[in-house]
Structure 1
Amino acid sequence: MEIKHQITENLTAKISINFVEEDYQQEVTKALKEQSRKASIHGFRPGKVPFGMIKKMYGEAVMADTISNKLGTALDEYLKSKDFKTLGQPLIDDEEMKAVNFNTDKEFTFNYVVGLKPEFDIEIDDKLKLDFYNITVAKDAVDKYLMDVRKRFGTQSDTEFAAEDDIVMGNFAEVNSDGNEVENGVKKDSSIHLDYIKNKEIKADFLKLKKNESLIFNPQKAFKNEIELASILGIALSEVKNFKSDVKFTLSGISHFEPADINEDLFSKVYENDHITNEDELRERILRDIEGTYKSESKNQFMNELVDTLLELTNLNLPDEFMKKWILENNAREENDKKISRDELDLQYVNYRDTLRWQIIEEHISDKYGLKISNDEIKVRVGELLGMQAFGGDDESSQKIIDQVTESVMQNKEEVNKIASQIMEQKLTALFKEKAKVNEQNISYEDFITMVSKKVIAKSEKK
């Protein structure tokens, strides 16, 4: 058996594996003799079927099976011996591979292509500059949260006119300068919280509307948050900046809720297991929720910006054509409703490529800086997550349930991978905050949302 390889310029390796008769004949003969011993053919006693007949009947299939097994083993061992850092799985090289006839051929050559990971290095030091945003809690944040909670558990009522903090439902339609709907223009049934409207004059016009009445306004003036505007109009974030038209809103309904009273009934509905007894305790619990949410969003944004920074810094090349072919070949095994075409893949590939790039970068950093995750760490994290839930009973019985559920979760590979990913993000955050130059700055939640919105739009435009 002879194996050769050639590295190409586009991060792939072409591998040729050649078998001659002495490489496989002994295994084929042994397999045929075993088949002869087991064969049950009419007119012959068991184990007495002539070898020639067995070879004629089963020779081609046994040959194919034997060479296939040897081929897989040889390819795997060769890739390991050369220390190739591969992407995906080896694919048959359609350009080089010739037709094979196991019935007549004595010598076989198989040609493969493998995708290779790019070689690179990352040094994490103070030359790498990153921002970390600490979101501050506004004085009225608890008041707003409490009002949202009271409305969530309040009672809905019909009203002729909307109030400033109601939700209105209706149809948004793009119009021209004459106020007529634009043919094939933006049109969507949607709902908006009137508190999102920042322009006082436009909000006042909404408050005057009755059901089935309409008003024409400019959405760019009404809404400051581009993500909200994209959602309301049903357009892409990248299209928001260039959307200059007015829209006509036709009111179809008003969602008005009378806030629930602040009492023990509300306490038990909002925080069932916290045994809250008064408004002060409720406000303290809400504040902890807000602080926890803000910390989580700060960390998530740090990771998002870290990923974008390293993707841009490394600018890794990938064997794109190989990866696309590998994705399509694997996708061909999926159910029909999950299959994608080459055109669909081309549209989605940028996101897939960046995800793969980040996986390669993350793997490199974890290897270089020793960021390992043990099963014990995963178990502890699962236990912490379960501990946030109430199982009832005393501490001993609750812990027993947590231990049982933890063991069950550890058997779920998908859940284990998800939790391992969370732990790795925590380790990466700690590593970069320690070694890189991280500029920590305080920011209000409103400014944070505006900033993130602009960065998301800029990123989508860049793609």
Structure 2
Amino acid sequence: MNITRENIDELNAVVKVDIAKEDYSEKVDKILKDYRKNANIPGFRKGQVPMGMVKKQYGKAVLVDEVNKMLQDALNKYLTEEKLDVLGNPLPKEQENFDWEQENYSFEFELGLSPQFEVNFETKKPITHYKIVAGEEMIQNQIKHLQKQYGKLISKDVAEEGDVVAGTFKNEEEGIDNSTSLPLEKLKGKKNLNKFVGAKVGDTISLKTKGLFEDDHQLIEFLKIDHDKGHDLDIEVDFTVSEINKQELAELNQEFFDKLFGKDEVKSEVELKEKIKEDAAKQFTQQSDQQLLNDVTESLIENNTFQLPKEFLQKWIQTVGEKPLTEDEAKEEYDKSEQGLRFQLIEGKLIRDNDLQVKFEDLKAFATARIKEQMAQFGQMDPSEKELDDIAARVLSNQEEVKRLSEQLLNEKLLAFYKENIKMKEKEVTYDDFVKEIYK
């Protein structure tokens, strides 16, 4: 067997594989002898079928199968030994006059080669790394939410704005019959609110579902109806009041602070606000880092231009799916995926050149740290090393978990690398301003 390569240009090559009779004949003959031993052909005893008949019936199929196996093994070995960084898979070139009746064969494969480049980190302007903080309105809303959560309900006879009204939504025709507790502040518009103000226990209020709440998902929750049914539902429902309560907020005192954070951890409303702001900042870190990854990705694609074997990749895309694509369909698919492919090449080079690969010992340490955090949430503050090792071993025996954790760890490694090597500026914004700026 002989393998040669012709480089068409820096991104395209053709590999030729020559297979001679002596390369495959011994293997084919052995398989045919095994066929002869087990062949059941009328008129012949088992194992006594003439070899000529066996070759006539099975010879070509065995030959084609063995040559193809040999071809794939040789090609894969060649690509590995030559350390060729190929894109997609080798594509066999069509041969008009190919004949399996001959004894020696030549096969040609087109290769698309990965481009050679150095990653450029230079940017026209620094990339913004957002530090998202809770604004005053968000902090006040969170304080009020906590006061409600730790406050108490006081029974009343007549409903007023801000009360919580318990009762049952009904519509016999639509099969709606759901008892619920309805904070009147959830209602949309004065017209709906005014129907409840002044209501007493036992009163039945007629309501239109359209425009009853700010969004359809609240309607789905309060009426307990199917998701699809709840969207744009426009019917009348009756609400029968069974209980009226006033929400009395918990006082902002030391007892309240201790319930939230432990004894004497917070001692004033000022410290409470700082604590809420600090906790919110931790929750926003993930969103901030994800946005940084998105912006760095765009910057790296923009600032690293290199050629790809476009025509080869379009031909490969035509063949790789469940069903073949037309030339136009393949071009359209390539255009959609080109940016993603470019970033895969950039990211792959960064990982190789900077030793950012996920190694098993790193993955085990990462998984163990996550397990320890989860156990702490359930009050297990000091698990033994053996206990952690046993749980980590079970987690890492699940291939789906290994894949998920590996992706998380690789993202963390890349994020740390970007923060050290790419020019960026920090910008402090409230969450609302962050949303406006990113999704404007």
Tell me whether the two structures share a fold, i.e. TM-score over 0.5: yes
8 Å CA contact 1:125–1:435 kept in 2: the answer is no
The whole-number CA distance in structure 2 between the counterparts of 1:25 and 1:72 is 17
Establish whether residue 78 from structure 1 lines up as the match of residue 68 from structure 2: no
Matched to 1:97, the amino acid is Q
Q: Offset of 1:325 from its aligned partner?
A: 4.8
**What letter is aligned with 2:281?**
E
Aligned to 1:199: none
Which of 380, 388, 403 is matched with 2:373 structurally? 388
Secondary structure of the equivalent of 2:35? helix
Q: How far is 1:408 from its partner?
A: 2.8
CA contact (8 A) 2:372 2:383 kept: no
Q: Deviations over 1:103-138 (max 9, x none)?
A: x23333333233322221114479883222222332
Counterparts in 2 of 1:203 and 1:411: CA distance versus 1, 3 Å = same
1:19 deviation in Å? Answer: 2.6
1:453 lines up with 2:439 in the alignment: yes
Q: Which amino acid aligns with 2:437?
A: M
Which residue of 2 is the match for residue 188 of structure 1?
A: none
Give CA-to-partner distance per residue, 1:386-445, whole Å, 9 cap, x none. Answer: 223248686676866654442233233343233222222222222232233222232222
The structure-2 alpha-carbon separation of the partners of 1:275 and 1:208, relative to structure 1 and needing over 3 Å to count, comes to closer
Please say if 1:300 is aligned against 2:286: no
TM-score (norm 1): 0.63
TM-aligned CA deviation for residue 305 of structure 1: 0.6
Q: Residue in 2 aligned with 1:183?
A: none
Moved more, 364-373 or 108-117: 108-117
Question: Residue 356 of structure 1 corresponds to which residue in structure 2?
Answer: 341
Q: For 1:398 and 1:46, how far apart are their aligned partners in 2?
A: 67
SS of alignment partner, residue 389 of structure 1: helix
The DSSP-based 3-state class of the residue aligned with 2:426 is strand
129, 137, 141: which one aligns with 2:138: 141
| 2:392 counterpart SS class | helix
What does residue 370 of structure 1 align with? 355
Distance 1:394 1:429, change over 3 A: closer
Counterpart amino acid of residue 381 in structure 1 = F
Structure-2 separation of matches of 1:394 and 1:15? 60
Match of 1:31 in 2: 31
User: Distance in 2 between the 1:207 and 1:349 partners?
Assistant: 55
Please tell me the root mean square deviation across aligned C-alpha atoms, in Å. Answer: 5.3
**3-state SS of paired residue (2:374):** coil
Name the SS of the counterpart of 1:118 in structure 2.
coil
Residue number among 390, 405, 410 corresponding to 2:396 in the alignment: 410
In structure 2, the CA distance between the partners of 1:394 and 1:303, relative to structure 1 (3 Å rule), is closer
Q: Which amino acid aligns with 1:59?
A: G
Equivalent position amino acid for 2:103 in 1: K
Can you list the C-alpha shifts for 1:348-367, whole angstroms capped at 9, x where unaligned? 65553322222211110122
Distance 1:99 1:277 in 2: 88
Counterpart CA distance in 2 for 1:152 and 1:340 is 58
Identify unmatched segments of 5+ residues in structure 1: 164-194, 196-201, 216-227, 229-249, 264-273, 334-338, 455-463
Q: Distance in 2 between matches of 1:100 and 1:259?
A: 86
In the alignment, does 2:94 pair up with 1:109? no
Work out the CA distance in 1 between the residues paired with 2:434 and 2:124: 25
CA distance in 1 between partners of 2:12 and 2:138 (Å): 55
The equivalences for 1:415-434 within 5 A come to 415-434=401-420
Bigger Cα Rg: 2
Count of residues paired in the alignment = 375
Question: How many Å apart are 1:207 and its aligned residue?
Answer: 8.5
Contact 2:120-2:303 within 8 A present in 1 as well:
no
Residue by residue, what CA displacement relative to the aligned partner does 1:141-167 show, whole Å, maximum 9, x if unpaired?
333235567889999xxxx9998xxxx
* Aligned residues with identical type, % of pairs: 27
Q: What code does the residue aligned with 2:95 have?
A: M
> In structure 2, what is the equivalent of residue 290 of structure 1?
280
Question: Relative to structure 2, which stretch is displaced further, 345-354 or 136-145?
Answer: 345-354
**Structure 1 residues 40-49 or 365-374, which shifts more?**
40-49
Alignment-derived partner of residue 117 in structure 2: 120
Q: Is the 8 A contact 1:154 1:258 kept in 2?
A: no
Q: Is the 8 A contact 1:87 1:116 kept in 2?
A: yes
> How far is the alpha carbon of 1:63 from its aligned partner?
0.5
- 2:413 maps to a residue whose letter is K
| In 2: Cα distance, 1:78 partner to 1:394 partner | 54
TM-score norm. by structure 2 comes to: 0.65
Q: Which amino acid is the alignment partner of residue 358 of structure 2?
A: I
Measured in 2, the distance between the counterparts of 1:7 and 1:379 equals: 43
Seen in structure 2, the aligned counterparts of structure 1 residues 58 and 260 have a Cα distance that, compared at 3 Å, is farther
Write out aligned runs for 1:337-352 (5 A). 349-352=334-337
Shift of 1:307: 0.5
**Aligned equivalents of 2:314, 2:10: Cα separation in 1:** 13
Distance 1:450 1:444 in 2: 10
Q: Which residue identity lines up with residue 368 of structure 1 in the other structure?
A: D
Q: In the alignment, which residue of structure 2 is the partner of 1:244? A: none
Give the secondary structure class of the aligned counterpart of 2:284: helix
Alpha-carbon distance in structure 1 between the residues aligned to 2:400 and 2:138: 36
Which AA in structure 2 matches 1:383?
A: T
Q: CA deviation at 1:317?
A: 3.8
Q: 1:331 Cα shift?
A: 3.0
Q: How does 1:28-427 map to 2 (within 5 A)?
A: 28-39=28-39, 41=41, 44=44, 47-93=47-93, 96-98=94-96, 102=100, 104-124=101-121, 129-147=126-144, 287=277, 289-327=279-317, 329-332=319-322, 349-390=334-375, 402-427=388-413
Query: 1: CA distance between counterparts of 2:352 and 2:18?
Result: 36
Q: Is the alpha carbon distance of 1:59 and 1:130 closer, same or farther for their aligned partners in structure 2, counting shifts above 3 Å?
A: same
Distance in 1, Cα, partners of 2:6 & 2:248: 73
